[in-house]
């Protein structure tokens, strides 16, 4: 059985909900990623911030990314998957919620992130086609 831990990109890092968006952008640049899980004070997942969120929901609206926090943009219920979950469960979670990145948790701690690029490496062409169709389909 292939698990989430088998296909994830290990070493994902949190950013605190109290950190500003400019700091998030700097961390994204340093790590060469487009998204960061957001943690609350107890290091629990409370959202995900993307580079697009920073541009569209802060900069384009005339806000100062040095004053807006990651927590200010965290919306909705964050989705995640346990490291031991089967890859089928990963696909179900990502497809049913139309998400492109999924934090991987083990013992209540962030251990990695699954992105479309990770799926492309590990899935068959038909599996990837189904994923793309379901995630990018308009509701």
Q: Tell me the C-alpha distance between 120 and 60, whole Å.
A: 31
| Rounded mean pLDDT, 120-133 | 90
Question: Quick one: pLDDT band at residue 48, thresholds 50, 70, 90?
Answer: very high
For the whole model, what pTM was predicted?
0.87
Report pLDDT digits (tens) over 83-93. Answer: 999 999 999 99
Pairing of strands 81-82, 101-106: parallel
pLDDT of residue 74: 85
Sign of CA dihedral 114, 103, 61, 139: positive
- Predicted confidence at residue 139, as pLDDT, reads 53
Quick check: 94 and 110 in contact, CB under 8 A?
no
Q: How confident is the model at residue 138 (pLDDT cuts 50, 70, 90)?
A: low
Euclidean distance between CA atoms 47 and 2, whole angstroms: 26
For 68-82, write each residue's pLDDT tens digit. 999 999 877 889 999
């Amino acid at each position: 059985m292939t698990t989430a831990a088998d296909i994830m990109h290990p070493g994902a890092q949190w950013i605190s909900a109290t950190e500003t968006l400019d700091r998030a952008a700097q961390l994204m640049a340093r790590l060469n990623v487009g998204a960061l899980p957001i943690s609350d004070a107890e290091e629990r997942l409370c959202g995900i911030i993307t580079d697009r969120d920073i541009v569209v929901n802060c900069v384009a609206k005339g806000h100062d990314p040095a004053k807006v926090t990651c927590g200010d943009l965290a919306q909705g219920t964050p989705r995640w998957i346990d490291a031991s979950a089967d890859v089928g469960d990963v696909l179900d979670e990502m497809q049913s919620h139309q998400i492109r990145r999924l934090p991987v948790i083990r013992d209540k701690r962030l251990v990695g992130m699954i992105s479309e690029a990770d799926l492309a490496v590990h899935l068959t062409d038909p599996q990837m086609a189904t994923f793309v169709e379901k995630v990018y389909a308009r509701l």
